[in-house]
Amino acid sequence: MLLLGCKTKNPSNSFKEIVVKEMCPEDGKCYYEMLKNKNIDFSYNNLNEFYPTFSEGENIIFKFEYKRNEISNTQDSSYREEILIELNPYDLEFETTSFKGKKIVFARWCYCKGQTGYYKIKQGKLSVIKKGTNTYELKLNFKMDEVPQVITEIKHIFTLE
């Protein structure tokens, strides 16, 4: 009986999300998604540019997307940014400014010649703080040197059920 009480608790596989809306720019919409039991893998094309793929695994992937409203009567006005963060469900409370070895990705999609694609986020601050029973707040502040960005900060609250 004593040995059974020492078993590592498996994290829950379902989420209840509470989105903090004020973080999204007024000229677009923001979407959040938690992908459970997934890992981010990096693949490379023939130009040695990387792109993320997802595989089955034991991690959680936080996915954020910002879509700017298209400008009427303007061709190629679509603009989108994505952020992917791989989280370990067994270590959900942390704060870091060192992204080396972390899978944190920024993507920019627009008619912006030479300034689209996937980029590894290298500078900023990422934290996940426990706010209550199974409730966590994810915060990311970051800066990209490679390309311009609209989104510099994310704040998202989610509950593991």
Q: Which of 122, 113, 127, 125 is nearest to 144 (CA)?
A: 122
Looking at residue 22, its pLDDT comes to 52
pLDDT one-digit tens code per residue, 14-30: 555 554 445 799 999 99
Cβ(32)–Cβ(156) under 8 Å?
yes
Looking at residue 52, its pLDDT comes to 96
DSSP 73: T
pLDDT above 70 (res 12) = no
Looking at residue 77, its pLDDT comes to 85
Mean pLDDT for the stretch of residues 2-7: 43
pLDDT one-digit tens code per residue, 63-112: 999 999 998 888 888 999 999 999 999 999 999 999 988 999 999 999 99
Measured CA to CA, the distance from residue 51 to residue 154 in angstroms comes to 22
State whether the Cα torsion 67-69-71-75 is positive or negative. Answer: positive
Looking at residue 8, its pLDDT comes to 44
pLDDT one-digit tens code per residue, 30-71: 999 999 999 999 999 998 889 999 999 999 999 999 999 998
Report field, pTM of the whole predicted structure over 0.75:
yes
Q: Which two tokens stand for residue 35?
A: 């992908």
Q: Which of 93, 66, 90 is nearest to 78 (CA)?
A: 66
